[in-house]
Amino acid sequence: EVQLVESGGGWVQPGRSLRLSCAASGFTFDGYSMHWVRQAPGKGLEWVSSISWQSASIGYADSVKGRFTISRDNAKNSLYLQMNSLRAEDTALYYCTKGYSVVVPASPDYWGQGTLVTVSS
């Protein structure tokens, strides 16, 4: 069974940093791309970032480019999101997700339960 468990969320002041982690199990982690997707309270889904299986291909939403950094450790079956210069508009539930395919640019199939990030003074 695929399991994605996020951690690292919490309350942080604007301008500060936070690092999210995602522990993956139940599939061959180093065979799939991974994504972070967020959802602000009461709002829709927003794709944040993705990383290919070997970290060779990385993409970011314009809203986080230059502030967030995605990374993975295939030896630890873990995905990370380093978030710097946080803003109030980054407040959201952050989901760790797995790409559905090893072949094409693959949007998420499995999702974790999310970790809540609140940016406020």
Partner 1 sequence: QSALTQPASVSGSPGQSITFSCTGTSSDVGNYNLVSWYQQHPGKAPKLIIYEGSKRPSGVSNRFSGSKSGNTASLTISGLQAEDEADYYCCSYAGNNTFVFGGGTKLTVL
Query: Are residues 6 and 94 in contact, defined by beta-carbon separation less than 8 angstroms?
Result: yes
Binding of partner 1 by 47 (CB under 8 A): yes
Segment interacting with partner 1, rule: CB under 8 A, options 19-27, 56-64, 71-79, 83-91: 56-64
* Identified binder of partner 1 from the candidate list 108, 115, 117, 119, rule CB under 8 A: 108
Q: Hey, CA dihedral for 79, 51, 113, 115, is it positive or negative?
A: positive
Measured CA to CA, the distance from residue 23 to residue 78 in angstroms comes to: 5
Taking the CA atoms of residue 11, residue 12, residue 14 and residue 17 in that order, the dihedral angle to the nearest 10 degrees is: -140
Q: Which is nearer to partner 1, 13 or 44 (CB)?
A: 44
Q: Which residues bind partner 1 (CB under 8 A)?
A: 35, 37, 44-47, 50, 52, 57-63, 95, 100-101, 104-109, 111-114
